[in-house]
Structure 1
Amino acid sequence: MTPDMAPLGGAPTESRRPSTIYDVATAAGVSHQTVSRLLKGYEGIRPETRAKVVQALEELDYRPNLTARSLKSGRSHRIAAFTHEASEVGPSRIAEGASAAARDAGYVLDLVFVDMHSPAAIEQSLELLTRHAFAGVLALASSDAMLRALAEVDFGVPVQLETEAATHSSFSETATTALVEHLASLGHRRLLHMAGPMTWSSARGRQHAYETATAHLGLESAGALHGDWSAGSGYRAVAELTELPDATAYVVANDQMALGVMLALKERGLRVPDDVSVVGVDDIPEAAYFDPPLTTVRNDFDATGRAAVQRLIARIEGAAPPPAPRRATEVIVRRSSAPAPAPDPAGRVR
Structure 2
Amino acid sequence: MEKRPTSHDVARAAGVSQSTVSFVFTGRAGISPATRQKVLTAAAELNYRPNLAARSMRTRRTGRLAVVVPIATLTPLTLLPGAIAAAQEEGYVVEVVSLPHQMTERDERLAELIGSGQYEGVLSFTPLPSAHAGSGPARELRADPRPEEGEPDQVVVLAVAEFDDDMHSAGALADALPIVTMMEHLAAGGQRRFLHLAGPRDFRSSLARREAYLATIERLGLESLGVIDGDWSGRSGEDAVNALPDGILPVAVIAANDLIATGALRAATRRGWRVPEDLTLTGWDDHPQSAFLAPSLTSVRQDRERLGAHSMHRLIAAVRGLPAPPAPTDLLRVVWRESTGPVPAA
Distance 2:171 2:222 in 1: 20
Corresponding residue of 1:95:
80
Q: Which amino acid aligns with 2:326?
A: P
Q: Which amino acid aligns with 1:68?
A: A
8 Å Cα contact 1:226-1:237 kept in structure 2: no
Q: Which amino acid aligns with 1:244?
A: L
- Give the number of aligned pairs: 308
Q: Which amino acid aligns with 1:159?
A: L
Q: 1:114 to 1:265 in 2, by over 3 A?
A: farther
Corresponding residue of 1:78:
65
Q: Which amino acid aligns with 2:302?
A: N
Q: 1:200 aligned to 2:203?
A: yes
Distance 2:190 2:72 in 1: 37
Percentage identity across aligned positions? Answer: 36
Q: Which amino acid aligns with 1:95?
A: L
Q: Deviations over 1:161-211 (max 9, x none)?
A: 223799999862321110111221222222122223333322222221111
Q: Which amino acid aligns with 2:8?
A: Y
Distance 2:52 2:274 in 1: 57
Residue 137 of structure 1, aligned match among 122, 126, 129:
122
Cα shift at 1:273: 1.8
Corresponding residue of 1:277:
280
Distance 1:163 1:213 in 2: 25
Cα shift at 1:250: 1.4
8 Å Cα contact 1:239-1:268 kept in structure 2: no
Q: 1:216 to 1:336 in 2, by over 3 A?
A: same
8 Å Cα contact 1:79-1:107 kept in structure 2: no
Q: Deviations over 1:96-125 (max 9, x none)?
A: 22222222223333335679xxx56x6655
Distance 1:315 1:30 in 2: 25
8 Å Cα contact 1:297-1:331 kept in structure 2: yes
Corresponding residue of 1:243:
243
Q: Deviations over 1:258-284 (max 9, x none)?
A: 233323433444332232111123434
Q: Which amino acid aligns with 1:179?
A: M
* TM-score, with structure 2 as normaliser: 0.73
Corresponding residue of 1:234:
234
Distance 1:315 1:264 in 2: 51
Distance 1:161 1:228 in 2: 26
8 Å Cα contact 2:172-2:331 kept in structure 1: no
State the secondary structure of the residue aligned to 2:221: coil
Residue 24 of structure 1, aligned match among 4, 10, 14:
10
Residue 294 of structure 1, aligned match among 286, 297, 310:
297
Distance 1:290 1:22 in 2: 55
Q: 1:64 aligned to 2:42?
A: no
Q: Which amino acid aligns with 1:65?
A: N
8 Å Cα contact 2:253-2:281 kept in structure 1: yes
State the secondary structure of the residue aligned to 2:302: coil
Distance 2:195 2:99 in 1: 33
8 Å Cα contact 1:112-1:125 kept in structure 2: no
Cα shift at 1:298: 3.1
Residue 313 of structure 1, aligned match among 316, 329, 336:
316
Q: Which amino acid aligns with 1:154?
A: H
State the secondary structure of the residue aligned to 1:306: helix
- For structure 1, list consecutive stretches of 5 or more residues without a partner in the other structure: 1-13, 142-146, 340-350
8 Å Cα contact 1:114-1:125 kept in structure 2: yes
State the secondary structure of the residue aligned to 2:67: strand
Q: Which amino acid aligns with 2:88?
A: R
Q: 1:257 to 1:315 in 2, by over 3 A?
A: farther
Distance 1:55 1:168 in 2: 33
Q: 1:184 aligned to 2:192?
A: no
Distance 2:159 2:44 in 1: 31
State the secondary structure of the residue aligned to 2:160: strand
- For structure 2, list consecutive stretches of 5 or more residues without a partner in the other structure: 140-156
Cα shift at 1:221: 2.2
Q: Which amino acid aligns with 1:74?
A: R
Q: Which amino acid aligns with 1:131?
A: E
Cα shift at 1:32: 0.6
Distance 1:217 1:265 in 2: 26
What does residue range 38-53 of structure 1 map to in structure 2 within 5 Å?
A: 38-39=24-25, 40=27, 44-45=31-32, 47=34, 53=39
Cα shift at 1:217: 0.9
State the secondary structure of the residue aligned to 1:162: coil
Q: Which amino acid aligns with 2:216?
A: A
Q: 1:33 aligned to 2:14?
A: no
8 Å Cα contact 1:179-1:331 kept in structure 2: yes
Corresponding residue of 1:161:
160
Q: 1:63 to 1:283 in 2, by over 3 A?
A: same
8 Å Cα contact 1:137-1:159 kept in structure 2: yes
Cα shift at 1:316: 2.9
